[in-house]
Structure 1
Amino acid sequence: MMSLFKNLGKTVKPIPLPAHTMDLPGYVRMPDFIRSYIDHLASKNFSKATMRRYVYDFDSFFQFVAEASGESIQARDITQEAFLEIDGSGIAAYAEYLALTKQNAPSVINRKLSALQSLFRHLIDIGVLSENPVAKINRPKQAKRDPVYLTKREWDELMQLLPSNVEMNAREATHYERDRVRDITLFQLLGYSGMRLSEMTQLTWNAVDFHEGTIRVIGKGNKERVIPLAKPVRVALRKFAAHYSLTMRGPEPIFQKQGKALSPRAVQHILKRHVDRLRPVLPFLERKQITPHKLRHTFATRLATGGVDVLTIQQLLGHESVATTQVYAHIGDREKKRAIELFDSER
């Protein structure tokens, strides 16, 4: 019995991979200490999207190591001891490689460095490292840009043409007939709720309360928030349920395909397909790259221009910090000023 506890954690008995790794391409290629870190993130309720991005960024770093050393390296064979020998000059060389060789944008470079910095911070927390080699690296500066969003007129024009067969051939129109109501509902929900794409694809009928007029959303960090059910969304969901003979209750995802929740990538593809076909008749789509996240911006901007305070917008969007939300207040003020200027010019 004594030896059982003494050797706990040193057993050679194979342990099945954790469930969260099923959707993390590259997880099995990672070194043991990085897989342990990803498992740690999973235990803290980090989203799969975040963990997937970390694995991708760690893989990018090991590719750099292989290129810089000129050796054939299998990431899984790298030991924690060998990894901890890296210093600031090695991280600086990686940042330079990302900028000059890979020509990554500043935002991408900062994201990849942040992934490493988070890993090193974890290694410090567990007592195997004393200093974070990423902390003193000069990061590339990112230009601050206002979020891309649709004005009310642009949104109205888009929603007016979305149900139509404009710019479709006969075959495409026949195919669209099956998905028309679903696609309209997806757009309405994104534009009138401000939900993240991942939140919407996980939404169940049980989370929608038509009597109270609310949607219960599970966001980042497994945090719950409640969003008022806008009338266009209420109407769209009822039509959606009626059209596809759905019961409007239960724990199953609202949007499904072949019995499984519609994936975020599938929704991105659906939106892109409609934006591409409507671009010839809606000129603003030429200069605005509309994605599900841009419709989240559209929702937030509509609130800001309508005079909603920043703290309320923060709560509706599920932002951790109000600083993230502050940009919408800036846009709201600018749009109000422009409206007054137009009013004055008519006098």
Structure 2
Amino acid sequence: MKNFVLAALVFLCTFAARAEVKRDTTIIEFSDKKINKRITVISTGEKEIDLPVSMDLNEVLKELGIDTTERERALVLVGEDNGKKDTLLLISQSGQRIQIVTKQPLLNRAKDTTIVDDYQEPPILNEREPDHWNSGNGWDNQQNQKREEKPKRFFSKSDFGFYIGLNNFVNASNGNSTFPELRTWRSRYVALSFRKNATLLRGESADLALSYGPEIAWYNFMFENSKTAYYNNEQVRFDDADFSTSKSKLVMPYLNFPVLLNLGFKEDKFKFGVGGYIGYRIGGYTKTKDTNGNKEKNKSTYGFNNVPYGLTAELGRKNGLTLFFRYDLTKTFRSNQTNANDLQAFSAGLRL
């Protein structure tokens, strides 16, 4: 009889101990719309919980005694879309074990809260200890990995540029060319550029991009000493105008298509590009202005090369001024032009 009573006492004590553990376990289940997930918080400590007015994970963890740093890290980890369900374990400063179970993202659920006492703690699926975060191998490495996967882009996907510079020729004094002297600071290159930038390589310190797109360009050659251009019998010649001029220029408009390989250095915010271009002539004209202000404009082909191509280079700041240089590999005028042999145009200036 005594043995039976003793066994019964042992059984009752064991049952009471288990019941006490269960009474110390509390579940709070709610929908957190800030991170768009269904959250279950399981507390196994003896701390009594006063539900916050705002039922979200941050406020619940604050009530359970989790400090600010651990709350912020937990919110980030729980908010990640690693799966439809995941489990995270926290330990408060008092040693209280707090388990967070996340479920699939909310669809159109109404906000609701459920509290259940005497719940037996389920197994932990994907335990992450705070000590692991604080070791410098968890949280920091995770953030570094994100930066490595998607480093910041240097080049925008597209941009618009305005070119303004100076024009001149090489080989102007060679052969039989009678091309007149130019007014250097008035002979301008102007272009409007519409560009796409396709990033080929994206790194931590530099990006490599292929830049391409159409542009409309105007070569303006301003003559000295009242000279102008004439086009007769399919030959261009350069001679004195019929009147004294205050301005006389020859204009070549082209539709160009440049392609550049650009390298952008992120820390220095500096870019450098090299490439080439090909174009097509879309007009040609002379424009004169006499000393009385009267203007005259004459359109013609003037023996221009219809399809020029050449080399180009650009360097400058990421969002600042960019220097450019253009050099035509083709002759400016066709080979049958006896008064304009071997002239090759080049331009240099700024891209804004």
TM superposition score normalised by structure 1: 0.17
Which structure: greater strand fraction?
Answer: 2
Larger radius of gyration: 2
Higher RCO, 1 vs 2 (CA within 8 Å, ≥6 residues apart): 1
Whichever structure has more helix as a proportion of its residues is 1
